[in-house]
Amino acid sequence: MVELLFLCIYGFAVITFCIAFSIAQKGLRKSRIDLLCFLLAISSGWWSLFFGLVLKQTDQNVAFWMRRIGMIGVFAFVICSTYMMVYWSDIRGRMRRYVTGFAWLGAPLYPFTVLKGNTTFEMTTYGMSYRMNSGIWSTAYTVYYIVAALNMLMLVIHLLRRSIRRREKVMAYNLITCIAIVVLGSILDTVMPLVGLAAFPGSTIGQFIGMMALYQTYLFYKKSQMNIENMSQFVYYSVDEPVFLFDEAERLCIVNNGATVFLEMSAEECCKMRLNEIFELNRDVFRFQGGKNRVEACCIQNHNICSVSIDKIYDDYQDIIGYIVIVHDITERVHMMEKLDQERQRADKANEAKGVFLANMSHEIRTPINAVMGMNEMIIRECEDNEILEYAQNIRDASKTLLALINDILDFSKIESGMMEVVEEAYSLKAMLKALEKECSMRAEAKGLAFKFVVPEDTPNVLLGDEVRVRQVLLNILTNAIKYTLKGGVTMTLSYEKRENKRLWLTFAVTDTGIGIKEENIGRLFDKFDRVNEEEIHAIEGSGLGLSIVDRLMKLMHGTVKVESEFGKGSTFTVALEQKIIEDQPIGSLQEEKKTPGERVRYMPQFIAPDIKVLVVDDNKVNLTVVKGLLRKTQMQITCVLSGRECLEAVRREAYHIILLDYMMPEMDGAETLEQLKTMPDNRSKDAAVIVLTANAMAGMKELYLEQGFDAYISKPIDGTALEQLLMEYIPQEYLTKKAVRS
C-alpha cells in the first residue's frame, strides 16, 4: 500500500516537472502567464515529491524535515495560483493589491507553521503520516488556506460575471472545478488532523488534479492566442505602417518592424508595454460596435500625432481575443491644418477689422449727414420762400439717396459676416404696405410714372414675421423698378394662399414698364457690386447691392425671389415668403383721400410739453443744434452740453425728465457716463429716461445698448418725427398740455 501510494505521488511530481520543462523550452519571456504556469508546475512537483517522501520515512525526525521542505511548495502553489487567477480575471486597483498581498502572507507564516511542536508524526497503514496539534499557528495556517481559496473563488466569480465571451465562461468554470478539487483534497490532511485523525495525503492528490486542470486551462488560453500569433508573418512582411496587436486586456502581444521604427524601441521592449503607455487614449476606444474604430491620439514616446485604426480579432467562438491597431502618422497634416487655422484666424481678424472699420465709417459718415439732413429739415419747416423750399427738397432727396447707399453697404456687410438675424414680431401688413405706397408713390410721381398697389381686401392683416426685413426687400425692389422705368408705370400685386397651422404664403409681384434685362444678364442680377446693362444705365445712380441684399434676405427668411424680363419692355420681380397669421382680420382697402398735388404739408409738432426738461449730450455742436432745432416747437426746455463730465455736472444742478446721450464721445463715452449717472449719489435725475444717440447702425448694436442699461435707442441721422414719437413714450401724460395735428 505504501509503495503504491508513493509511486503514484512520485509520478505526479515527474509529470508536473515535465510540464514545467516543456513550458521553459518554449520560452518564459513571451508573457507573464507562461512564467506563472512554469512556477506553478515547479511548486506542484515540489509539493508532490517531498510529501511522497514523507510516506517512505520510518524516522519521525526525517519525516519532519521532508514535510518542512515540502511546505515550501504548498505556499508557492497558493501564491502562483492566486496570481494566475488575478491575471485571467484582470482585476485591478485596491482589490488586486488585497488578494496578492494576502497570498504573500504565506511567506512570513511559513516558518511558524513548520515548527516541530505543531505536528506529531506516526506510522499508519499507508506510511508515515502526521497529526497537526491544536494551537495558534495551526489555526492560522488553516484560516490562511481557507481565505486563500475563497479569494481565488472570488476572482473566478469576477471573471465569470464580467465575461461576455463563451471562451471566458469555459475558463471560469474550469477554474471553479480546479479550486473545488484542491479544497476537497485538502480536507483529508487538513481537517482530519484537527479532529484527532492521522492525515491522508489527499491534498497532494487534489493539488495534482487541480494543477492538471489549471494546465488545461492554460493550454486552452494559449490556443485562443494562436490566431494572433499566426498573423505575425503577414504583419511583419506585408505592412509598412506601424502595427500593434493587443489582446483583449489591452496588453501588447506583437509589433511589426514599422512599429519598432516608429517607437524607436526593440520588439522585446515594445511588448512590455500596455496601450495607455504608448498612446494617450481613453480605454473606451476598444469598446465599440461594428467594424473599425478610428481615433486620433498622441504617441507618448515621440509626441507624434497619429490616426489610430482599431479592428477586432475573433476566435472560433466568435469572441473577441484581441485587436489589430494600425497607426498612421499625421503629424505633418495636423501641423498643416494648424497653419490653415492660423490663416483662418488672421482672416477672421481681418474681417473683424473690416466690421470695426465699417462701424467707424458708419459713425463718421452719418454724423455729418445728420447735420445736413437736420439743418435742411429746419429750413423746410420754417422757410416760406418757395424757391428755397425747392432747393431744400432737392437736398433732402439727395441726402436720402446717399443714406440709402450707406445702408445698403452696411446691410450687405452684416449679411456677409453672418451678423444679420431674422427677428419675428407681430406687425400690421396694412400699415407696412401703406408706408411703402406713400414712400414710393412720391418717387414715382416725381418721374411722372403711374404707381399702384393691387391688394385683395380679404388678405389677413396681423402677421408674425420680420417686418423690417420684409419691408426692406419690397422697398429695394420697388425703388429699383421706379429707378429703371423711364415711362409707363410700376404695379405691385399681392396674392396669398392659406396653409395649415395658420401659415400664410404671400406673393408680391412687382411689374414695371422699364428698360428690362437681357436674357444673358438675368443670372448676374443678384451678384454683389454688379450692375447689368451698364452701358444703358450708367447715368442712373446705384451701388449694385440692392438686389444682392434682397436675394440674401430672402434666403434668411426661407423665401424665394424670381425674375422675368423682356429687354426694352419691362420686368416682373416676384417675391414669395411664408408668414404666420396672428389675427384673421382682413386688410381692407389701402385707398385714402389724397392731397391736392403741389399742396405743401406744413410741419406741426406731435405734442407740446413746456414743463418737460431735456438734457442733450453730444460732443458735436452741430448735432446739438440739430436736436434743439428739431424739438423747438414742442416747447420743451432743452439744455445742451458737450461731454459726459458736463452731463454729470448738469444732473447735480438740475432734475431732468429725459437725457439724450451720444454714445461715442472722447474721454468719457456714453456707456461710462450712464454708469456714473446710475451710481452717483447726488444725481437729481435718477428717474430720467436715458436715450442713446448713435451713428453706429451695425447689427446687434440696439440689443447691446439696451443690455448696457439705456432705456431706448435712436440712430443718426435723426428723423424729427421718429424722435418726437419716441419721446412721447417717456413723457408722463399730465405734462402733454397739447396734442398737435398734421395738416
State the chain's mean pLDDT as an integer.
Answer: 81
Percent of the chain with pLDDT over 90: 16
Checking if the pLDDT of 715 tops 80, the result is yes
Q: How confident is the model at residue 250 (pLDDT cuts 50, 70, 90)?
A: confident
Question: Quick one: pLDDT at residue 205?
Answer: 83
Question: Quick one: pLDDT at residue 290?
Answer: 66
Of the candidates 34, 565, 625, the one whose C-alpha atom is nearest the C-alpha of residue 375 is 625
Crossing angle for the helix pair 60-89 and 94-103, to the nearest 10 degrees: 170
| Upstream peptide bond of 586 is cis (omega within 30 degrees of 0) | no
Q: Give the largest CA-CA distance in the chain.
A: 148
pLDDT in tens, 8-31: 888 888 998 898 888 888 766 667
Buried b (16+ CB within 10 A) or exposed e, 541-558: ebbbbbbbbbbbbbeebe
Per the CATH hierarchy, to which homologous superfamily does domain 421-586 belong?
A: Histidine kinase-like ATPase, C-terminal domain (3.30.565.10)
Beta strands in 168-304 (DSSP E): 243-247, 252-255, 293-298
Tell me if 609 sits within 8 A of 736, measured CB to CB. Answer: yes
Tell me if 612 sits within 8 A of 636, measured CB to CB. Answer: yes
Checking if the pLDDT of 639 tops 90, the result is yes
Q: What are phi and psi of 714, to 5 degrees?
A: -145, 135
How is the chain split into domains, by residue range? 2-227, 230-329, 335-411, 421-586, 613-735
Question: Quick one: pLDDT at residue 542?
Answer: 47
Supply 119's cell numbers: 505536528
Checking if the pLDDT of 211 tops 90, the result is no
The answer to whether the 2-227 and 613-735 domains have the same CATH topology is no
Checking if the pLDDT of 737 tops 80, the result is no
pLDDT in tens, 563-608: 998 888 899 999 999 999 988 889 888 875 444 444 556 778 888 9
Question: Range with the lowest mean pLDDT among 363-377, 452-466, 671-685?
Answer: 363-377
Instruction: Count other Cβ atoms within 10 Å, centred on residue 227.
Output: 14
Q: How confident is the model at residue 640 (pLDDT cuts 50, 70, 90)?
A: very high
The mean pLDDT of 682-709, rounded to a whole number, is 83
Beta strand 689-694 pairing with 658-662: parallel
Question: Quick one: pLDDT at residue 538?
Answer: 43
pLDDT in tens, 95-130: 888 988 998 988 898 888 888 888 888 887 777 877
Distance of CA 226 to the CA centre of its chain: 43
Checking if the pLDDT of 455 tops 70, the result is yes
Question: Quick one: pLDDT at residue 398?
Answer: 72
Question: Quick one: pLDDT at residue 560?
Answer: 92
The arrangement of secondary structure in 2-227, i.e. its CATH architecture, is Up-down Bundle (1.20)
Question: Range with the lowest mean pLDDT among 166-180, 359-373, 610-624, 704-718?
Answer: 359-373
Can you name the CATH fold of 613-735? Answer: Rossmann fold (3.40.50)
Tell me if 438 sits within 8 A of 576, measured CB to CB. Answer: no
Checking if the pLDDT of 238 tops 80, the result is no
Question: Quick one: pLDDT at residue 698?
Answer: 61
Tell me if 706 sits within 8 A of 689, measured CB to CB. Answer: no
Percent of the chain with pLDDT over 70: 84
Tell me if 537 sits within 8 A of 456, measured CB to CB. Answer: no
DSSP letters of 544-563?
S-HHHHHHHHHHHTT-EEEE
Question: Quick one: pLDDT at residue 506?
Answer: 94
Question: Range with the lowest mean pLDDT among 237-241, 295-299, 555-559?
Answer: 237-241
Question: Quick one: pLDDT at residue 196?
Answer: 61
Of the candidates 220, 150, 219, the one whose C-alpha atom is nearest the C-alpha of residue 179 is 150
Checking if the pLDDT of 710 tops 90, the result is yes
Question: Quick one: pLDDT at residue 743?
Answer: 33
Question: Range with the lowest mean pLDDT among 29-43, 399-413, 549-563?
Answer: 399-413
Question: Quick one: pLDDT at residue 597?
Answer: 45
Q: How confident is the model at residue 546 (pLDDT cuts 50, 70, 90)?
A: low
E strand or H helix at 89:
helix 60-89
For domain 230-329, is the CATH number 2.60.40.10?
no
- Provide the whole-model pTM: 0.43
| Upstream peptide bond of 717 is cis (omega within 30 degrees of 0) | yes
Q: How confident is the model at residue 722 (pLDDT cuts 50, 70, 90)?
A: confident
Q: What is the CA radius of gyration of the chain?
A: 48
CA distance 222 to 210: 18
Question: Quick one: pLDDT at residue 412?
Answer: 62
Question: Quick one: pLDDT at residue 25?
Answer: 80
Cell 506542484 locates to 44
